[in-house]
Structure 1
Amino acid sequence: MKIKLIAAAAIAALGFATSAQAHKAWLQPSQTVFSDKGAWLTVDAAVSNDLFYFNHVPLPLERLRITAPDGSAVQAQNASTGKLRSVFDVELAQEGTYKIAMVNEGMFASYKLGGEAKRWRGKAEDFKAGIPAGATEVSASESLGRVETFATVGSPTTGVFKASGKGIELVPVTHPNDLFAGEKATFQLLVDGKPAAGLKIEVVPGATRYRDQQNEIHLTSGADGKFEVNWPQAGMYWLETASEDAKTTLPDAKQRRLSYVAVFEVLSQ
């Protein structure tokens, strides 16, 4: 339950309220493996109860970052945000692996005003102006969350996985666009650029709308930050992990909440 509460706070910092019990943020690519450069990728971005169906709210696109294999930034095309989802296209002009990510950095605060509980979320530089005079019991936390997916043209490359050293990041041992049903994949999780031991990880296959159980896979990262996933079948999978600590970079924040979400496509043998 703790991982869901931390992740829910990070999702809320993206610009809307959500429930720790059910709602999941995700980026779903139309496909993840392409033969020739010049192809187009379409991505849906949403927060929903079911994977991967549009039944809650869209993910806003203001924090979208697309990184090409050579490290350059790519502009999304034909972007649109509706009532239930956002959608955009990406032209894959280079060979290699692309990273498509939503990155949120900000603050989340709770306080009381006139005896009534209030909440605030936004950028760190707006915090002092955002908390009204007379507020009491102010408690602020720093948030850093990522929602990612990946696509590859031709042979997979690893340039986009260079760690920034901030928050939770995923480094592949097995490339995320080289996943097959019945095979194990190994990934490594970093926090602030260092191997993250003991992180609780949840992996859920898509199409949850059409089954009674989530069929989630629960894992824990080892001392070296690594963990293995054995994919039971082909399809899209959602992965989430989260943590919290007191290593804030903002003087007004007493704790830091970190979250990481990725969507992977697993292919048939």
Structure 2
Amino acid sequence: MKTLLRPLCAAAALTAMLAAPMAAQAHRQWMLPSMTVMSGNDPWITVDAAVSNDLFIFEHVPMRLDGLVITGPDGAAVAHQNAATGKYRTTFDLHLAKPGTYRIASVGDGVMASYKLGGEQKRWRGAPAELATAIPAGATEVKITHSQRRIETFATAGEPTTEALKPTGQGLELAPITHPNDLVAGETAQFRLLLDGQPAAGVEVAVIRGGGRYRNDPGEMSLTTAADGLLEITWPEPGMYWMEAELRGGKSPIEGAERMAVYVGTLEVLPD
């Protein structure tokens, strides 16, 4: 009964992650499935992926699929099909060939560095593995930012399963306690926010229902994770919801780097 969300071009994605908290920014990244809970013998879904001002409205730029990772009910990787990128959105199809829950995620892990060399300001952007040889000897005023991003959604064919929901232990992740495809209006769902596999305490989380373009009040909920990373959300009404959490600082796997970890998800809440 529900669902969750990925980037634009590498430069734009990293820029967005290094700016003010994403919940306060005009442009939001998201993935939106055509359905989240299905039955039948041969279910398929189509997923839209975009960056927009209004949630789930195509009016800014498409997201790119270079970090797309889809995990099937057995934990194995699943390929998407029929991908196409237009002016405002990217779309792809997913065949839910096996019964159970699928995790559809766009994952990014990048580094930005600035430094001075010979009195001239330099900048570099790339993968963490490239960092060791990217900054030349003699560089001064070196500043490194390690940015990790996860944008995801979930879909279930038949009965919900949990194998695809296992955390990877990298970056900021949502570990469902309540199944993400079993969310009902008026009920309270529980999740746990993790950073590198450990509970992320005191993280601010924004939850916004889609359709704000047609309402005066966007209906944003501002929540904070507990000491054990627990996040409880009581859904006021049915609909598609966008969730965003951002964590700055803390220890990075890259020595000397400033940490920036972002989680974005889309969840569907069904009527009681």
Q: Would the TM-score normalized by the shorter structure come out above 0.5?
A: yes
Task: Report deviation, 1:244.
Answer: 2.3
| Matching of residues 201-240 of structure 1 within 5 Å | 201-240=205-244
The farther-off stretch of 21-30 and 135-144 is 135-144
- Give the equivalent residue in structure 2 for 1:267: 270
Pair 1:114–1:195, CA change in 2 (3 A): same
- Give the equivalent residue in structure 1 for 2:168: 164
TM-score by length of 2: 0.86
Task: Report deviation, 1:112.
Answer: 5.8
| Matching of residues 90-239 of structure 1 within 5 Å | 90-111=94-115, 119-127=123-131, 137-239=141-243
The farther-off stretch of 240-249 and 101-110 is 240-249
The farther-off stretch of 85-94 and 221-230 is 221-230
Pair 1:81–1:154, CA change in 2 (3 A): same
Pair 1:212–1:128, CA change in 2 (3 A): farther
Deviations 1:227-255 (A, max 9, x none): 2111111110000111123422224x421
Choose from 58, 61, 64 the match for 1:60.
64
* Cα separation, 2, equivalents of 1:87 and 1:94: 21
CA contact (8 A) 1:156 1:177 kept: yes
Give yes or no for the alignment of 1:241 onto 2:238: no
- Corresponding residue pairs, total: 259
Partner AA of 2:176 in structure 1: P
CA contact (8 A) 2:188 2:234 kept: yes
SS in structure 2 of the partner of residue 38 of structure 1: coil
- Give the equivalent residue in structure 2 for 1:257: 260
Pair 1:12–1:36, CA change in 2 (3 A): closer
RMSD between aligned alpha carbons?
A: 2.4
Task: Report deviation, 1:25.
Answer: 0.9
Which consecutive residues of structure 1, in runs of 5 or more, have no partner in the other structure?
1-9
Which consecutive residues of structure 2, in runs of 5 or more, have no partner in the other structure?
1-5
SS in structure 1 of the partner of residue 213 of structure 2: helix
Partner AA of 2:205 in structure 1: I
Pair 1:73–1:244, CA change in 2 (3 A): same
Pair 1:54–1:138, CA change in 2 (3 A): farther
* Cα separation, 2, equivalents of 1:246 and 1:202: 20
* Cα separation, 1, equivalents of 2:7 and 2:124: 14
Identity of paired residues, percent?
Answer: 53
